[in-house]
Amino acid sequence: MIELSKVVRLAKKEKFYIGKSKFGQGLFARRNIALGETILKFTGDIIDFDKAILKAPRYEGDPLQIGKNLYVNLEPPGRFVNHSCDPNAGIKNDVDLVALRHIRAGEEIYFDYSTTMDEDYWVMQCGCGSVHCRRVIKDFKHLPSHVKRKYLELNVVQNFIAIQYETTATAK
């Protein structure tokens, strides 16, 4: 059994903490996080689409899609990362949340949920407040072309989605 004081010491070393957000709870930077730095690895049981539907209503997708029919049933702290249409973080290697720019201590950490979605099922109203807000969050394929291109160049689109666009680009 791990000693409680050791757990507290380990938690203080984390790059983030869970705090109050305009969306309920969110993930915040405990310290400055550098561009490209890994923030966390999303964890949870691997589930299929049918189990993901049972887990979350149609308009509140919690599971993280990592394959055409595969999802990570998110555990804390990853389940507290909120969406923004102007994110400061993105997902690489399907489960690694990395900083897309310098993130200041105390700043909420966001990624664009559309970079992980390709099932034509979940839709979410957006309230991020960004000047770039799309108002509705849907699958990656529905993003404006320049936004898709930016995310693909940053390598923050789930691999199973990015492969579709690489195949399309090489076919032209």
Nearest to 45 by CA among 19, 78, 81: 78
Domains and CATH numbers, the chain: 16-171 (2.170.270.10)
Return the higher-pLDDT residue of 38 and 51: 38
What's the pLDDT score for residue 157?
Answer: 98
> Per the structure block, which two tokens stand in for 91?
């997902």
Please give the Cα distance from 89 to 13 (Å, whole number).
20
DSSP conformation class of 81 = P
Could you tell me how far CA 159 lies from the centroid of its own chain? 14
Q: What Rg value do the Cα atoms of the chain yield, rounded? A: 16
Nearest to 71 by CA among 25, 26, 5, 122: 122
- The pTM of this model reads 0.87
Burial class (CB within 10 angstroms; exposed 0-12, middle 13-18, buried 19+) of 95: middle
In percent, the amount of the chain with pLDDT more than 90 equals 74
**138 bridge partner residues:** none
Question: Above 80 in pLDDT, residue 32?
Answer: yes
- Name the one residue in this structure whose structure tokens are 């997902």: 91
Whether 114 and 162 have beta carbons less than 8 Å apart is answered as no
At 110, phi and psi to the nearest 5? -130, 150
Return the higher-pLDDT residue of 4 and 17: 17
Please give the Cα distance from 88 to 130 (Å, whole number).
12
